[in-house]
């Protein structure tokens, strides 16, 4: 197997895990890691994740930027896209949003979620799904949305269930 093929297979796996499997598995583990506080923070992360999905889907459907492999025949898609348009990268937006929020919810997870979010972003460009600007803007929006949720609800949206 050639190096490029191995790299593509690795990033295909990262991208598929970034579809949600990794984040949802981690979310289910949060109450086990942090008890009732983890359960309350899981509620916050869930709502923030849904807002993220709403924002990126609205932007994609309004901005309608074609994916690189559609615009440039020399670029090959190495995985099937989840939707038609590329801007912004929803995978990256969600990955960064979740990385920030899981780090807030349980700081030791930072060593796992931050590198994984970076790999998800990188995978989207390597696999021909996104332009670098799609990923940069997706990451910026993920940071903005996660920090906005934490500024509005510093203890979490569901902190009152702990009282």
Tell me how far apart the alpha carbons of residues 128 and 8 are, in angstroms, rounded to a whole number.
10
Tell me how far apart the alpha carbons of residues 80 and 154 are, in angstroms, rounded to a whole number.
38
pLDDT, position 83: 76
pLDDT, position 162: 55
The parts of the chain modelled with pLDDT lower than 50 are: none
Q: How many domains does the chain have?
A: 1
pLDDT, position 158: 64
- Output phi, psi for 73, to 5 deg: -60, -25
Tell me how far apart the alpha carbons of residues 77 and 122 are, in angstroms, rounded to a whole number.
14
Rounded (to 5) percent helix, strand, coil in the chain? 75, 0, 20
Task: State which residues form the domain around 33.
Answer: 3-162
Q: pLDDT tens for residues 112-144?
A: 999 999 999 999 998 888 899 999 999 999 999
pLDDT, position 161: 57
Alpha carbon of 74 to those of 1, 68, 122, 128: distances in Å?
A: 22, 9, 19, 10
């Amino acid at each position: 197997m050639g190096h490029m093929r191995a790299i593509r297979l690795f990033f295909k796996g990262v991208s598929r895990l970034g579809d949600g499997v990794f984040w949802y598995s981690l979310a289910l583990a949060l109450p086990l890691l942090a008890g009732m506080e983890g359960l309350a923070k899981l509620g916050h992360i869930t709502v923030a994740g849904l807002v993220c999905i709403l924002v990126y889907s609205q932007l994609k459907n309004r901005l309608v930027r074609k994916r690189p492999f559609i615009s440039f025949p020399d670029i090959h898609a190495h995985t099937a896209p989840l939707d038609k348009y590329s801007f912004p990268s929803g995978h990256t937006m969600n990955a960064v949003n979740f990385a920030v929020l899981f780090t807030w919810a349980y700081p030791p997870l930072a060593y796992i979620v931050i590198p994984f979010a970076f790999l998800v972003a990188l995978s989207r460009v390597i696999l021909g799904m996104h332009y670098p600007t799609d990923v940069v803007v997706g990451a910026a929006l993920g940071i903005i949305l996660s920090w906005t949720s934490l500024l509005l609800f510093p203890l979490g949206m569901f902190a009152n269930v702990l009282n």
